[in-house]
Copies of this chain bind each other. A is one copy, B any other.
């Protein structure tokens, strides 16, 4: 067992000298010293429940144990001990607490190995799809209690299911790490989020730290602890901190950027010396949230489109190759890029009747473009995108680009100097950088500088469970980030207006796009 023990993890194999008359340190202090020796912990604490069984267990196992630790800043804690001969799994659970989806990953704390993963819709969706709806609901009588209970019950149900799949029981989970946006984290902890939605937008806590799972009624090991990722404010959450950790932004000598694109665009720039972050409203378009045919990236969503510029033939690709149901955010960006390259929209994003031909229809006094005919779509109805949808997309991409430009200008860095450009989230997994550049949403960097991180929030949470040092790193990231308050002033509005063209009023910024045209 010790052979493949992850030396950097939270599970330690500890062998102590047995007590004698000459060496009569107490049991807890003996274990504490051994842990301090291996970890440089300044001090180690024990829950009283563990102290009550410690003497018998230490003697039963001849003072050779495996123990599970956690560390809340300077205070370390032994939260579970077992025999070195006991080979059953000591499990950790990483949780990405999304507003829409919750993703959980079970891992072996001793080896760092991943054991299984599951995802489920955030049960709070029944109350409201977006954050604001839930926060307003939390303000009503019993609203907070209800929202809190929904997510706790949902987690417990799915933890039990995931454990069953992995042939474990929830009591084997001793450490959990949870990353989510500030609002979701508050609802998870049962903290009153009412000040998050009122100026000046104040969270209850920026640094929730480690919480006892049983204090939140999370059903796991009896003394299990949950590391809740810290936030920078109401609009820059623990999911971003987890993403920075996962991308390693804080450890690289070269400067990189990390973006998490959703209704809010969150952006961090920096290296091992400094980090600066900001968040701004990008609108729901980039998530596929405005278009009538918009949908989340799931089976049946159009995620890739190629338009033949000569024949105007649309070649659609859907997730899981199902008949198309709608279009997801990355598909929408692909569509806009292809429409632009085919000349079917102009540089303002307006549909060009001359090029769109029969695909263009007029409904509700507005142009609509048929993306998929009723004879190919899942519903049998035409899937269309309206001029309003396209206008909305262009505002969103302009906002995204403006935020990137404002942040880089503020720190005095040219986009070309970025060694890597990380795109987080599901969106990041599906987006084609080429298309995002074509519409001028992302800067025109060499394509190999773009890195899709996948679920970086879950990735960061997993790292916190498998590498002790991440705990300190998370605090460092939190404390080192300078948060740039986006002032929507004249400078910002000028940049925004200039970015509302495809790819930009200044095509010199997008040489590779001009080359295509």
Contact = CB atoms under 8 A, between A and B. Distances in A.
B192 A55 contact: yes
A29 B207 contact: yes
Tell me which of A206, A209, A234 has the highest count of chain B C-beta atoms within 10 A of its own C-beta.
Answer: A206
A119 interface: no
A21 B209 contact: no
A446 interface: no
A204 B45 contact: no
Given A189-B48, A190-B52, A199-B21, A204 B73 contact: no
Nearest to A194: B55
A254 interface: no
Nearest to A233: B24
Contacts of A42: 73-74
A189 B51 CA distance: 9
Interface in A37-69: 42-43, 45-46, 48, 51-52, 54-56
A195 interface: yes
Contacts of A55: 192, 194-195, 202, 204
A383 B51 CA distance: 48
Contact of A203 (B27, B204, B233): B27
A502 to B, nearest CB: 34
Interface in A196-233: 199-209, 211, 215-216, 231, 233
B73 A26 contact: no
Contacts of A24: 200-202, 233-234
A310 interface: no
Contact of A45 (B28, B191, B209, B234): B209
A444 B192 CA distance: 68
For the complex formed by this chain, how many copies does it contain in all?
A: 2
A189 B199 CA distance: 47
Contacts of A48: 189-191, 211, 215-216
A357 interface: no
A19 B51 contact: no
A89 to B, nearest CB: 28
A204 B26 contact: yes
Nearest to A209: B45
Interface string A464-488: 0000000000000000000001000
Contact of A206 (B21, B28, B201): B28
A157 interface: no
A332 B220 CA distance: 60
A72 interface: yes
Contacts of A514: none
Given A191-B51, A192-B52, A205 B21 contact: no
30 contacts: A21-B199, A23-B200, A25-B202, A26-B206, A26-B231, A27-B195, A27-B202, A27-B205, A28-B207, A29-B205, A29-B206, A29-B207, A42-B73, A42-B74, A43-B73, A43-B74, A45-B72, A48-B189, A48-B191, A51-B205, A52-B191, A52-B204, A54-B204, A55-B195, A55-B202, A55-B204, A73-B74, A74-B74, A74-B75, A75-B75
Interface of A: 19-29, 42-43, 45-46, 48, 51-52, 54-56, 72-75, 189-192, 194-195, 199-209, 211, 215-216, 231, 233-234, 485
Given A24-B200, A26-B204, A29-B206, 16 more contacts: A20-B200, A21-B199, A23-B200, A26-B202, A27-B203, A28-B204, A28-B206, A45-B209, A48-B189, A48-B191, A51-B191, A51-B204, A52-B192, A52-B204, A55-B192, A73-B74
Question: Lowest 7 A-B CB distances belong to which pairs?
Answer: A28-B205, A74-B74, A26-B203, A26-B206, A21-B200, A29-B206, A75-B75
